[in-house]
């Protein structure tokens, strides 16, 4: 296996990465009352010591009363939480790593299994989490403007604490994606509309505010997915033309890197070419992209939540696409969650030491 391209450095604005491997953002719910503990810092620092090129944090929520459905998801606001994040980035840097927080608002979401609820109802473009399931209230324009400012403050704090970049979570059916999707955005004001481009206004205003807060030289990543939990096979953009009309305005608003979430990276995005989502996003916008989805593992992550175990799998197809220049960076989730030394084992070709992923790995921070 020739992994030369995977271990080439990558530089873009504030990012100086030793290799192309990105730890994908993964919610762990080990931050009581929204405060990342010393164990959380140790967990990320171990991945930095294990030579992960760029660590993206688990989703961490902005300063809105109902941005999270889980009291153990970290906040990215408030003195104590930000002090926790300061410890994280200091330890990651001390171990030689680079890191950005994934800034998140969950939007309209299902209640947490513990029965915990935030102080105010969940909020989104409409009251819908998906067609037929309402669990909150539609945001007013004042809510929208305050939320945009809260995204901006979080990004400014990320820069102030010394993070290397920031990622905005615009994927997987959460707030930003709820604005994109016609299944959840039925607004009749300027934040809704018949076309995906019209429904992108919220995301564009978030990106512009984030860019205003962090300046031109700080790297902004936007994570997107065509799929959502309510519709695995659905696509926001059904053709390359629709994808261009969606992504180009986001790029123009200030995105530096598109993080293109798929469940299986090898699946072509459109008929007629084998390019995946990250491949198309790079081709259409010229921006750098990250691919992700079952890299190095036999099964995909949502099946893993249902208990399906995965075994290590070959990187040949990934390397073929990376060498061809389809994308710049590769996101690895569960394999790095299960093994802080996954990157080192790939680098040193110690593939017989690779471990698989089983749901039990979620029970603790290793």
Ligand X SMILES: Cc1cc2nc3c(=O)[nH]c(=O)nc-3n(C[C@H](O)[C@H](O)[C@H](O)COP(=O)(O)O)c2cc1C
Q: Which residues in this chain contact ligand X in the complex, by CB under 6 A?
A: 24-27, 58-59, 102, 169, 171-172, 223, 261, 292-295, 297, 300-301, 332-335, 362
Mind spelling out the 3-state secondary structure of 246-310? HHHHHHHHCCCEEEEECCCCCCCCCCCCCCCHHHHHHHHHCCEEEEECCCCECCCHHHHHCCCCE
Q: Which residue is nearest to ligand X (CB)?
A: 333
Nearer to ligand X, 48 or 222 (CB): 222
> What is the closest distance, in whole angstroms, from the C-beta atom of residue 288 to ligand X in the complex?
18
Secondary structure of residue 205 in the 3-state scheme: helix
Q: Which residue has the tokens 């990105």?
A: 22
Nearer to ligand X, 150 or 338 (CB): 338
Nearer to ligand X, 28 or 159 (CB): 28
> What is the closest distance, in whole angstroms, from the C-beta atom of residue 28 to ligand X in the complex?
7
Q: Are 26 and 44 in contact (CB under 8 A)?
A: no
> What is the closest distance, in whole angstroms, from the C-beta atom of residue 13 to ligand X in the complex?
21
Nearer to ligand X, 244 or 308 (CB): 308
> What is the closest distance, in whole angstroms, from the C-beta atom of residue 295 to ligand X in the complex?
5
Nearer to ligand X, 289 or 294 (CB): 294
Please, is 244 exposed, middle or buried when counting C-beta atoms within 10 Å of its C-beta (0-12, 13-18, 19+)?
Answer: middle
Query: Closest Cα partner for 145 from 205, 65, 68?
Result: 205
Please, is 31 exposed, middle or buried when counting C-beta atoms within 10 Å of its C-beta (0-12, 13-18, 19+)?
Answer: buried
Q: Report the alpha-carbon distance of residue 105 to residue 124 in Å, rounded.
A: 9
Nearer to ligand X, 67 or 187 (CB): 67
> What is the closest distance, in whole angstroms, from the C-beta atom of residue 280 to ligand X in the complex?
17
Nearer to ligand X, 177 or 326 (CB): 177
> What is the closest distance, in whole angstroms, from the C-beta atom of residue 189 to ligand X in the complex?
28
Q: Are 29 and 364 in contact (CB under 8 A)?
A: no
First and final C-alpha spacing in the chain: 28
Secondary structure of residue 217 in the 3-state scheme: coil
> What is the closest distance, in whole angstroms, from the C-beta atom of residue 188 to ligand X in the complex?
30
């Amino acid at each position: 296996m020739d992994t030369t391209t995977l271990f080439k450095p990558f530089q873009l604005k504030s990012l100086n990465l030793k290799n192309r491997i990105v730890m994908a953002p993964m919610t762990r719910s080990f931050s009581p009352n929204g405060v990342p503990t010393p164990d959380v810092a140790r967990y990320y620092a171990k991945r930095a010591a294990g030579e992960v090129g760029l660590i993206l944090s688990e989703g961490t929520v902005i300063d809105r009363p109902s941005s999270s459905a889980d009291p153990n998801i970290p906040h990215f606001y408030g003195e104590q939480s930000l002090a926790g994040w300061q410890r994280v980035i200091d330890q990651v840097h001390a171990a030689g790593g680079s890191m950005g927080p994934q800034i998140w608002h969950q939007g309209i979401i299902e209640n947490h299994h513990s029965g915990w609820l935030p102080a105010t109802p969940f909020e989104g473009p409409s009251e819908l989490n998906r067609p037929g399931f309402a669990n909150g209230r539609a945001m007013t324009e004042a809510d929208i403007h305050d939320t945009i400012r809260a995204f901006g403050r979080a990004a400014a704090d990320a820069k102030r604490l010394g993070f290397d970049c920031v990622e905005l979570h615009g994927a997987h059916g959460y707030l930003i994606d709820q604005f994109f999707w016609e299944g959840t955005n039925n607004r009749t004001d300027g934040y809704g509309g018949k076309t995906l481009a019209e429904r992108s206004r919220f995301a564009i205003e978030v990106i512009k505010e984030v860019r205003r807060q962090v300046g031109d030289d700080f790297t902004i990543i936007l994570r997107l997915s065509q799929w959502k939990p309510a519709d695995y096979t659905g696509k926001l953009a059904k053709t390359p033309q629709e994808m261009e009309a969606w992504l180009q305005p986001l790029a123009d608003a200030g995105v530096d890197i598109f993080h293109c979430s798929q469940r299986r990276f090898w699946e072509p995005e459109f008929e007629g070419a084998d390019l995946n989502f990250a491949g198309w996003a790079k081709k259409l916008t010229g921006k750098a992209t990250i691919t992700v989805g079952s890299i190095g593992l036999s099964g995909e992550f949502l099946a893993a939540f249902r208990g399906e175990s995965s075994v290590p799998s070959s990187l040949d197809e990934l390397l073929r696409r990376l060498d061809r220049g389809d994308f710049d960076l590769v996101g690895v989730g569960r394999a790095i969650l299960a093994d802080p030394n996954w990157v080192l084992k790939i680098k040193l070709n110690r593939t017989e030491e690779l471990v698989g992923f089983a749901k039990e790995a979620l029970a603790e921070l290793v």
